[in-house]
Structure 1
């Protein structure tokens, strides 16, 4: 359809809008089946509405900080050599893949459970479920982070290197992807820690820390954009995300009195070791001249897909040998699913 109109990008935008409408419409039957209605009901004196209004304002401001970070990086990148904004944009889109699939989904899924524990005053359960959710999220996303770092050049080449997007643009995007990826673990971790604060109806602490992280991003962006150019802006974002996570974790630990940090660190160490070995293997598998060339898309897709599957196998094998708790959980989950089908 795009090839039949004067401005093909309009077709792309229309496709995105149509996709959003289809996603909305697909949920309507279940929405109505469960007794909900789209008809508005106004009761501004309802205590729940008042409480929600008080809580939602800081939460909205916290979400806005993330967009402000991106906006500031874009402005600063405009002072750098041509192509810098493009490199940051494409690399940011790539790290949003694991963040959106795992981080956002896990944060949304765990919030009702944590809220239930908070309402009942069962802080022991809240601590346990928070620890498990964070460890499981790291188990899933850190290897994805390592994969993006190790295979950044092949991934960017296969997805974008065509037309005016040459090898220099591929390397510029890959460099930004390297530094952005260093912050993935912290970004997804923030989702879980923030959900824990929200479950206890504390929306102010996360937004205060988010503002501190914003200031960190600005300072490091200005410091690093000189020597590292656009990669410095990506690195500053990763540093700010890490500061955000550590501060949130520190204050959550104070709020909950105790968190089994030793167990989290032990799991984190095993995951990082398995991910590093997997990443090294992936780099050796796909390091070559093929990824400097245009074309041969099907061949590249085949090599990249095979390498990703092999790397996943290496990661799971090493995790199993390291006796990872999360690996044992995944194995038991698969066994239960298989038994349930019999």
Structure 2
């Protein structure tokens, strides 16, 4: 079981790595051509709006509700009934998305008041953002249907194509950035059209694969379809519970719109670097284990359910600790190497470094949420994550009201980093409460491997931290280096840190079989 899961996770991680590398190339191009300004702040906010809604509804609530019901149909119904369910979900989802997209385009000014109220103080920035949002918003329609197609493919064990699909977003946006920068009066308008086109391209990329598998649905709409009604019933509370992290990041964007120009961009680039391990490990693990957990719950196999969840958590800790330490200690070098070119200055690097360190401290919490939440959704329990999510958001808001808002009013430098720190703190709270709920209901019991794993991962991480602390130069030294020198030095540090970590893991007794072996004894 765990060998198959590990292989599937590795496939997704490899495909995601390709996409993330292109994503960094995309962001390097953005930083070089556009820098950090009021206009780029406007674009990043505009781009965030459909992406936020996509993660909230399509990749968040919809996926968490759709996959368990689909698993139930596969386990207990005929092939014809399963395909009929998929067709009705496709029709209902498409109709809702079309309506939401139409409303979103028409209500662009109101959405900007909600997502970036600080833009009202800059009429030129606000007008540019409204124009871009009307162009970008239909991306929600295409990318949400893409998420539906990805859920189908993942549920049938086809993980590579969905993980590779975001590559097309990066390719299209890189082309649009160069086209806009060199051939348009307002380059960010061209970039907005690139987002629109990228959504359609990603959906088109997946359709042939569904057709080959006999899963390409002919959308249907019925007023009372039992499977669709059950999905909607599960989806409504999951809208909030599965997207707490996105809500916290949205709060950061709203408050950052009141800060000095560049603050939204600094948070964006920081978040992009944290998203790298989150996508490589957290999303990959969640994608693999949710269908597995859903099938095990449908088959009433509680022991297998526990083993799958325990395996996911152990692998998460093994990867989260070094990733967190690496991001914290290499925050400045990473930002300087990747983005400090052209319009992106050394000051921008220093400011983004502060928020990257703050976000990085919450990375284990972000990753654990990705693995713990499917433990509820696979059991068709969408209520518990909602209650926990509400508490996490309230804690985030309380911290920001007590600490961050006064900093904004007093114009304290580095306030954007305090926003990131509050979001990181909320992620830890959310993960802890999810874990406690699973333990309290006897849904999950940790295996006996945990004490040994904690010592191995902790010791190896400390050794890796010492390696980076001794060899990584100060930020000023990185800024003085030539671009190629930065890249070579950073590559050497990253590869060296990875080697040190895994060598120490082996020296402390961890073997590959420990990640493949099924644990049958509970503590």
TM-score, length of structure 2 as denominator length: 0.59
Name the structure 1 match of 2:253: 74
Q: Comparing 312-321 with 97-106, which one deviates more in the overlay?
A: 97-106
- Residue 277 of structure 2 corresponds to 98
- Shift, 1:275, TM fit: 2.2
- Matched residues in 1 for 2:399 and 2:319: separation? 29
Residue deviations 1:87-124 (CA, integer Å, cap 9, x gap): 22221121111112221121011011111211122111
Alignment partner of 1:314 is 2:500? yes
In structure 2, the residue matched to 1:185 is: 364
* C-alpha distance after superposition, 1:144-197 (max 9, x if no partner): 222111111110111222344322221111111111001111111111111010
Q: How far 1:200 sits from its partner (Å)?
A: 0.7
Corresponding residue number in structure 2 for 1:237? 423
Following superposition of structure 1 onto structure 2, how do residues 188-337 of structure 1 map, counting pairs within 5 Å? Answer: 188-225=367-404, 226=407, 229-256=415-442, 258-260=444-446, 263-264=449-450, 266-288=452-474, 289-293=476-480, 296-324=482-510, 327-329=512-514
Q: Which runs of 5+ in 1 are unaligned?
A: 333-342
Q: Secondary structure at the match of 1:142?
A: helix
- Residue pair 2:333, 2:478 contacting (<8 A) in 1 also: yes
Further displaced range: 63-72 or 133-142: 63-72
**1:232-284: CA deviation from partner (whole Å, max 9, x where unpaired):** 21111111000000000000112235511664454244323322321331233
Task: Describe the shift of the 1:41–1:331 C-alpha distance in structure 2 as closer, same or farther (beyond 3 A).
Answer: closer
Do the aligned residues in 1 keep the contact of 2:346 with 2:479 (CA within 8 Å)? yes
CA contact (8 A) 2:340 2:346 kept: yes
Do the aligned partners of 1:134 and 1:189 also contact (CA within 8 Å) in 2? yes
TM-score between the two structures when normalised by the length of structure 1: 0.87
Aligned residues: 330
1:152 aligns with 2:331: yes
Q: 1:262–1:215: structure 2 CA closer, same or farther, 3 Å change rule?
A: farther
Q: Does 2:248 match 1:61?
A: no
Return closer, same or farther for 1:258/1:163 CA change in 2, 3 Å cut-off: closer
SS in structure 1 opposite 2:509? coil
Q: 1:186 to 1:278 in 2, by over 3 A?
A: same
Structure 2 gap segments, 5+ residues each: 1-177, 518-523
Taking structure 1 as reference, are residues 296 and 17 closer, same or farther at Cα in structure 2, changes over 3 Å only? farther
